[in-house]
Amino acid sequence: MPQHDTRPEPDHQRVEDTVLDLLAEILYVERDTVRSDTEFTAQGLDSILAVEYLAQVHEALGVKVTLEELHDLGTPGALAARVRQAPAGTGAGHGPHREGREGAV
């Protein structure tokens, strides 16, 4: 008999709040200055900070996202939507993970 994930689905607002809280923390800015609909780069996130940010997102929400995926998603709101769609403990994207690619944010 297959085992089903019995954890509750992440609450929509909790996921977005966590994504934004972590972004504010990594950028050393007040939480109310980060926006879910503004590009990561416009908010000051570079590829170096993005590595730490993605590690914190993985730790807090259980979803791995690559630098390339983060760049493609573009905004915290899009990242939150992707996190909500991905099973915990998995990569957020679909398809094979490309090792060695250093995506810039």
Entry pTM: 0.74
pLDDT the model gives residue 11 = 81
d(CA 47, CA 64): 16
Domain 12-85 has CATH 3.90.320.10: no
At 9-65, the pLDDT tens digits run: 558 889 999 999 999 999 999 999 999 999 999 999 999 999 999 999 999 999 999
Alpha helices by DSSP H, the chain: 12-27, 47-61, 67-73, 76-85
Where along the chain do its domains lie? 12-85
